[in-house]
Structure 1
Amino acid sequence: MTVISSTQNRYVKLYRSLEKRKIRIQQNLVPLEGEKLIRDAIERRVLPEVVYLREGLTPEEFPFLQALESQVPVLSIAEKLFDRTAFTDSPQGILAVAPRPKSDLTDLFVKKPALLLVADGVQDPGNLGTMLRSAAAAGADGAILLPGTVDATNPKALRAAMGAYFALSVVETNHQDCLSALAGHGVSLVTTAARAEVAYDRYDWNTPVAVVIGNEGSGVSPAMAEAAKSRVSIPMAGAVESLNAAIAMSVIFFEAARQRRKLV
């Protein structure tokens, strides 16, 4: 394999351009870093359009690449250039560019009863990625990302999600369309509140439900707070007043999963 060492190489420039959300949306592409993330994408039939290997590595060292068609470029990138091209500190010697999965609101209501995450202005990519990972692990059907929420294809969000982005239907939409879709499918909206009378483990999660997690600083938007049918709290001991948004979301979703397992 010829080793690429120029920053002007079109594939190198393509990858670096995907650091910007606008370019990811325009190109309909996602940057992937690390063996697990790329393998998970391929296993879910999201096939890369180009693969980058750090100089010295070969395709044979990554058996999952055998699923790619022969015309997909697999490039060898000089070590220093590879490290400068990657967005993370330890991409494990492999990067890829893949098509952005397409989902719409109808994809979220295939299973009954629905269990959905609604991210309402979540800005930290690590938090969003962790939420997607927890949602997938708890058996959720998908996630709705409202305006002000970080892009789920942000490299840090993808890294934190650990492949969950490809396991869920993830839809970006506005508040009105979100509420209309939930109401049309009989899905109740639930938010969290420190002083809510109903504790999260006393709520009946066996019904169709969407859990709203708001901005890390300002919380749930007025539109979603007003539309919520219920509010739940997470009782805490000691002097702790609140949990990180992703942790609170995980606590709730695994309680929902626990209750739903009893129905099976």
Structure 2
Amino acid sequence: MKEITSIQNPLIKNIFKLQEKVRERKKQGLFLIEGKREIELAKKGGYEITSLLFLSTVKNDNLLSEFQDVEKILISQEIYDKLAYRNTTEGFLAIAKTKSLSLSDIKLSKNPLILVAESIEKPGNIGAILRTADAANIDAVLIADAKSDLYNSNIIRSSVGCVFTNQIAIGTSEEIIAFLKEKNIQIFAATLQNSNAYHLENYTKPTAIVVGTEDTGLTKIWRKNATQNINIPMQGMIDSMNVSVAAAILLFEAKRQRNFN
């Protein structure tokens, strides 16, 4: 078992790079996971853990025995405090390998329910969307024209590990539309233009629900290629809501129609 006490250690310096720079995560194919629950979910989600970093206060934790063939590194409190964003992560950090996140890797059920999120920029919104997708137990989340790196620490943290529990693929809007049409999946685009109230539509067939940013909404390509545009009728003074809230309303209506199967 290795022990590191200095922040100047080359491995620790490299972890800081992985944490802060998208370029390094893509170049090395590695990223940092913070928290015991998140690490456990990553393992269940098929992510390969390459190193497990931990404090002396948790050296007898069962999590360590779950990773027999993984490099284990005892780190000082100073290092942990510099790397960890939260003080509620049980003294564990891990380095894991990224996945390809290709559309070709997505495995669908016979009657899939998919969420497409176009150009969502804020990591907190992406994390909340992934939590919603996990709660609804849908087939996949497809991120169109991504504005943030999926392995951003803020996304992992705000998703409370649901970045590992969902099937996720990233592509351009054109690629995702082609994928959905090839699979004969109907497309419902959440937009105000030329739309019907969401609860009037039938989501019991293979379905993709598409949501966009609160500021600009979905781009024309989605409105043009949708089977039907849908809206959530608003009864207050504003005409939009948080994208993760909208996604939850739409997904759970689809689940209700499917008798929550």
| 1:109 to partner: Cα distance | 4.8
Distance 1:260 1:195, change over 3 A: same
Contact 1:31 1:155 survives alignment (8 Å): yes
Secondary structure in 1 aligned to 2:57?
A: coil
8 A contact 2:30–2:98 mirrored in 1: yes
Which deviations, in whole Å up to 9, do the C-alpha atoms of 1:122-167 show, x marking residues without a partner? Answer: 0010101111111122121112112243222111111122222222
Please say if residues 205 and 256 of structure 1, whose CA atoms lie closer than 8 Å, have aligned partners that are also in contact: yes
Kindly provide the CA deviation profile for residues 168-190 of structure 1, in whole angstroms up to 9, marking residues without a partner as x: 22111112221111111101221
**Distance (Å, rounded) in 2 between the aligned partners of 1:203 and 1:10:** 56
Deviations 1:38-95 (A, max 9, x none): 11112334231111113x323322x13322134x222222212211122445433211
- What are the within-5 Å matches in structure 2 for residues 67-78 of structure 1? 67-70=66-69, 72-78=70-76
Percent identity over the alignment is 27
Are 1:207 and 2:208 an aligned pair? no
- Which residue identity is paired with 1:10? P
| 1:65 matched residue in structure 2 | 64
Consecutive unaligned residues in structure 2, runs of 5 or more: none
Q: Is the 8 A contact 1:42 1:67 kept in 2?
A: no
Q: In the alignment, is residue 23 of structure 1 matched against residue 21 of structure 2?
A: no
**In 1, distance between residues paired with 2:195 and 2:67?**
53
Distance (whole Å) between structure 1 residues aligned to residue 85 and residue 28 of structure 2: 18
In structure 2, the residue matched to 1:163 is 161
* Gap regions ≥5 residues in structure 1: none
Cα distance, 1:121 vs. partner? Answer: 0.6
* 1:226-237 map, 5 Å: 226-237=224-235
The reply to whether residue 223 of structure 1 matches residue 221 of structure 2 is: yes
- Output the TM-score relative to the length of structure 1: 0.89
Q: Which of residues 183, 186, 189 in structure 2 aligns to 1:188?
A: 186
* RMSD of Structure 2 on Structure 1 (CA): 2.1
The CA distance in 1 between the partners of 2:87 and 2:145, in whole Å, is: 29
Q: 2:52 aligns to what? A: 51
> Is the counterpart of residue 142 in structure 1 residue 140 in structure 2?
yes
CA distance in 1, matches of 2:139, 2:187: 15
Please tell me whether residue 119 in structure 1 is matched to residue 120 in structure 2.
no
Whole-Å separation in 1 of the counterparts to 2:194 and 2:160 = 32
Query: What number of residue pairs does the alignment pair up?
Result: 260
Kindly state the Cα deviation for residue 209 of structure 1 after the two structures are TM-superposed.
1.5
Q: So what's the TM-score if we normalise by structure 2? A: 0.90
Give the match's secondary structure for 2:230: strand
Q: Which range moves more in the overlay, 113-122 or 83-92?
A: 83-92
Number of the residue aligned with 2:14: 14
Structure 2 counterparts to residues 86-101 of structure 1, below 5 A: 86-88=84-86, 90-101=88-99
Q: In structure 1, what is the Cα distance between the partners aligned to 2:144 and 2:76?
A: 40
Matches of 2:148 and 2:41, distance apart in 1: 22
CA distance in 2, matches of 1:28, 1:229: 37
When structure 1 is superposed on structure 2, of 251-260 and 161-170 the one drifting more is: 161-170
**Aligned 8 A contact 1:46 1:99 in 2:** yes
> Shift of residue 197 of structure 1?
4.7
User: Structure 1 residues 45, 65: closer, same or farther in 2, change over 3 A?
Assistant: farther
CA gap 1:40/1:18 in 2 versus in 1, 3 angstroms: same
